[in-house]
Amino acid sequence: MRTSLAVVLAAGEGKRMKSRLPKVLHPVGRLPMLLHVLKAAEAGAHQAVVIAAPHAADDIRRAIKERGLKADVLVQEEQRGTAHAALVAREAFSDFDDIIVLFGDTPLVTQRTVERMREALAEGASVVVAGMRPADPSGYGRLIADGDQLVDIREERDATEAELAIRFCNGGIMGLAGATATDILDAIEDGNHQQEFYLTDAVSIAHKRGLKVVAIEIDADEVLGVNDRLQLSEVERLYQQRRRTEAIAEGATLLAPETVFFAHDTYLGSGVVIEPDVVFGEGVTVGKDVTIRAFSHLEGANLWEGAIVGPFARLRPGAEIGKGAHIGNFVEIKAAVVGAGAKINHLSYIGDARVGARTNVGAGTITCNYDGVAKHLTDIGEGAFIGSNSSLVAPVKIGDGAYVASGSTITEDVPEDALAFGRARQVNKPGRAAEKRKK
Ligand code: UD1
Ligand code: MG
């Protein structure tokens, strides 16, 4: 079994992002770009190294750790070009059969591409380049080939008329055989421009040494790079498109796919129906046959089989919606377990709570979970009925089968099967309204 090392270059300046956040930590599908690249790399590679700029290294280390990914972060003290950056990891090169160099700002790269690069190396190539045919090739290095051998990569400013006509361009990703990687990179002379060491020079050097150099072709979208926020939004658009296509292929119904926004980890079971304008934050798992109605926002939520959510529902972290439960319009649920078949259909806030199976929570019910200092639990049993416009002041417990009268403010526990009135009794004064009107 061949071993491989992914080297992810992430020491870009990112000035054009106009942000304090290092460029590669800007999110796509709510996951930092760099971590998309690491995940693609992780699938094919055995170990990953990230090359960071000095000011960004700590933030990058933290982001990697937070998501439970594994990669060493090494610092490139000065940004002297892509070859120079890759060489920061040189100590490790000879321990691996394959070295795959990826860019931290091209988050759409796929695991399949990493695998294909490795296959080419396994078939004897010393250098393999990921080529592409972008609609507009301007700005990209052109791949100069001789039959199926790659001879050189010509950056646009150095290209002749004939070379400029070549549509096959350098996507940036490169694979190097571990045995020759250090020698080739060391030989890269100070490039002609800006005192930079270009990784792309590896191609001509390897070719001149009689080594096998090949290109594979990948989709140009995969290597779309992010240098500013406009490009970030374009990459996000393509990412969302990809996710929608996958969701539909896997059996979800999206009524207006272009209006549904996924996070990188959104999980959809089969038979899910998603109406227009639904937004997923991180950490949402949607069970089989769930319906999410229009204009809902979900984050950190777990929906069990057959639940119906929305329209206009907001599920926040810790929302656990039981089998067949209904969460209706203008309902916000946070850190609450809603039992199977329970209904919370209109205008409610249910936070830090348990709602037992089959319980009905009436319109306008609010859990008063916060006393200004701490959050407290509202525990509602099974088969209970909470009348409309009730305030449940936590900590409070409402027993199984209990009934809370509409308009109650509940501050004390309600025993099982009891009826609780938490409001002033109504008094009718006959004729009083008419008398007032006469005055
Ligand atoms: C590179 C290729 C070009 C290709 C294009 C595709 C080179 C020399 N050129 O150009 O042929 O068509 O990608 O997008 O490789 N980086 C470091 N340290 C450095 C310099 C760069 O870590 O000292 C990182 C950057 O953060 C970035 C990546 O390397 O993630 C690529 O560098 P960039 O300057 O964007 O190269 P391009 O001009 O896009
Ligand atoms: Mg670039």
In this predicted model, what pLDDT tens digit does every residue of 45-95 receive, in sequence order?
Answer: 789 999 999 999 999 999 999 999 999 999 999 999 999 999 999 999 989
Ligand nearest to the Cα of 220, by number:
1
> Whose CA is closest to 391, among 405, 375, 373?
405
Atom of ligand 1 nearest to the CA of 169: 12
Confidence bin at 1 (pLDDT 50/70/90) = confident
Is the CB of 141 inside a 6 Å radius of any atom of ligand 1?
Answer: yes
Query: How many angstroms does the Cα of residue 104 sit away from the middle of ligand 2?
Result: 10
pLDDT for 192 equals 54
Is the CB of 154 inside a 6 Å radius of any atom of ligand 1?
Answer: no
**3-state DSSP assignment of residue 18:** coil
367 CB contacts (<8 Å, ≥6 apart)? 336, 349, 350, 351, 352, 353, 378, 392, 394
Position 355: which residue type?
A: V
Q: Supply the pTM of this predicted model.
A: 0.93
Position 75: which residue type?
A: V
Is the CB of 140 inside a 6 Å radius of any atom of ligand 1?
Answer: yes
Give the residue, by CA position, lying nearest to ligand 1 atom 3: 141
Task: Provide DSSP, 329-365.
Answer: EEEEEEEEEE-TT-EEEEEEEEEEEEE-TT-EE-TT-
Is the CB of 84 inside a 6 Å radius of any atom of ligand 1?
Answer: yes
- Whether the bond between 137 and the residue before it is cis, its omega within 30 degrees of 0, is no
In this predicted model, what pLDDT tens digit does every residue of 274-306 receive, in sequence order?
Answer: 999 999 999 999 999 999 999 999 999 999 999
For the record, the structure tokens of 72 come out as 């060493």
Q: At what angle do helices 57-66 and 33-44 cross, to 10 degrees?
A: 60
Query: How many angstroms does the Cα of residue 172 sit away from the middle of ligand 1?
Result: 7
Give the residue, by CA position, lying nearest to ligand 1 atom 32: 82
Buried b (16+ CB within 10 A) or exposed e, 123-159: eebbbbbbbbebeebeebbbbbbeeeebbbbbbeeee
> Whose CA is closest to 302, among 329, 334, 276, 330?
334
Active-site residues, by number, are: 346
Contact 268, 249 (CB under 8 A): no
In this predicted model, what pLDDT tens digit does every residue of 102-159 receive, in sequence order?
Answer: 999 999 999 999 999 999 999 999 999 999 999 999 889 999 999 889 999 998 888 9
For the record, the structure tokens of 287 come out as 């069970």
